[in-house]
Amino acid sequence: MTSDLSDLLRLILNLIRFGSIAEVDYDAQKVRVLVGKNLTDWRPWATQRAGDTQTWWPPTKGEQVILFSPEGDFNQSILFPAVYSEHAKPPSTNPAHHTTKYPDGAIIQYDHEAHALTAILPSGSSALVKADKVTSDAKETLCTGNLTVAKNLIVNGMSSLNAGMAVLPGTDGAAASIQGKLNVSDDVIAKGISLTGHKHPVIALGADSGVAK
Looking at residue 7, its pLDDT comes to 81
Looking at residue 205, its pLDDT comes to 64
Please, what are the domains in the chain? 3-80 (2.40.50.230), 90-123 (no CATH)
Low-confidence ranges of the chain (pLDDT < 50): 211-213
Which DSSP category does 70 fall into? G
Element (H, E) at 8: helix 2-13
pTM of the model: 0.76
Tell me: the pLDDT tens digits for 29-71? Answer: 999 999 999 999 999 999 999 999 999 999 999 999 999 999 8
Asked if 43 and 70 count as a contact pair (C-beta separation under 8 A), the reply is no
Looking at residue 213, its pLDDT comes to 47
How far is Cα 193 from Cα 211, in angstroms, rounded to an integer?
A: 17
CA distances from 4 to 9, 72, 111, 151 (A): 9, 14, 53, 77
List the 97-101 sheet strands across, edge first. 97-101, 107-111, 116-120
Looking at residue 206, its pLDDT comes to 62
| Spatial CA neighbour of 129 closest among 138, 114, 139, 119 | 119
How far is Cα 213 from Cα 196, in angstroms, rounded to an integer?
A: 24
Q: How many CB atoms lie within 10 A of CB 81?
A: 17
**How buried is 21 (Cβ within 10 angstroms: 0-12 exposed, 13-18 middle, 19+ buried)?**
buried
Looking at residue 6, its pLDDT comes to 83
